[in-house]
Structure 1
């Protein structure tokens, strides 16, 4: 066993009071991702529950990789390097019909005229390549709302976009603009996004200042979530399961567990659990009782293998 593998095993094996616990041995603890010699970095993850497949985005090139829960290695599903106008990719989510939504981060900033977001079917057919029309938009993360539309955060402004399809026609528009409520700070602003437990609101992370915001789905009204004493600086990906909210705090290397009110207006700290100190984890999806977390490689100037998704059993107490 390599030193890196041993370290990962030890970190995942400490009791809940220290760090996250190991997953069932019948399934892989890590999933290998394709990479290239120039160094690959990764960010988003989506999951298709019906097909039991996960999708991971590569920021360096925009490739999308796909894996199966029972197989230890994923493979490239969609090419990058300009395919469909995609040179980079960030958040990924999958709707109930198996359609895969990919947020482009700074894709259009770096390549004027290029799309901000793509939608594909399960077979990899491009359904839509959309542009927000908003200058300097950085589309980060996504969630599927109760109405079947996808809601997407902008990390460069306090905005949430809505992506919808009707009779085969896809549209993207600015759904909420909280410029008067959420101050834009240096660094990455709005990122991770989930539904409140009662599905009446979106809960959005502002990682650079460690805050959560609530966007009411009926009105678009925005208010701060009262998180008490919880330290949420570097909040990146959010995962919601009932009233449990896990906050993946990338460079802090902590998985914070919160207990949300049903309407998402308040959150109570449950645990702050250290993650593998050798990994910068960006976001996750809850899959059959385990969290699948993306090891971004963002801490490496030139990333080197192994490129991996890490599986762990999250704290819930």
Structure 2
């Protein structure tokens, strides 16, 4: 089967009857009696129920758990923290959840959601004989948008994105960067049927068998949807970017991305200082000394040599901006 389902039909069923899940429970054994699976279905399971089965519930405060799960803080506004987790996900509170769990406890994300999805898929195949894909979901906000939606944090047996680059539309236009994140779209569709308070942590999405891979192919996993550090244009929040650039800690270089071109840096220096730098040796720039130069260079992935350095001009008031070495 190729392309979307015939007629564009898609069905989502989220059954009732899933009992409270605890550490060590047989999750597949609990779910299979509730769903009538067919080859090509996508079985969608919330990360919370996966985490509970895997023993990722801990007693204690949320703040301590968030700190342990955080690799770095992306943005902070009062008590709200958007952080990058060790999974590479950028989420509020590192995905730590204190809802639908005993008071005084919190649920952490699975240690490896893709591995969890693979295990569930293999066990479903072994017990039912059905070839399905599995998506593990969690709720996340979006930059520029109010509200939250579910996304895929783990996946197995699924093409998580459809690459339309190079295809031609009905008008003859070649598509260049169209890459629907179908795993996230499936997660959002499933959440509509599951609901937040419905105690329905599993759903079956039917109608996109074209996205489901052969039984021996688990696919790239949801982790491939995560942009690498420095590959996102919003590696820090607006305030945090200013602070980090001024602090100039070398450990913070990666989130600012690849070094900018000399033209981009010259534009920024000219905007801030009122004087555009002139070309310097080795592809560098000469700029009038200014308190903001170091931060500007850092944010653009460049280095700055202050006036009077061996690389300085004979004019003591000029600094040398240079791209990083090989």
TM-score by length of 1: 0.24
Choose 1 or 2 for highest CA Rg. 2
Greater share of residues in helix: 2
Greater share of residues in strand: 1
1 or 2 for the larger relative contact order (CA 8 Å, sep ≥6)? 2
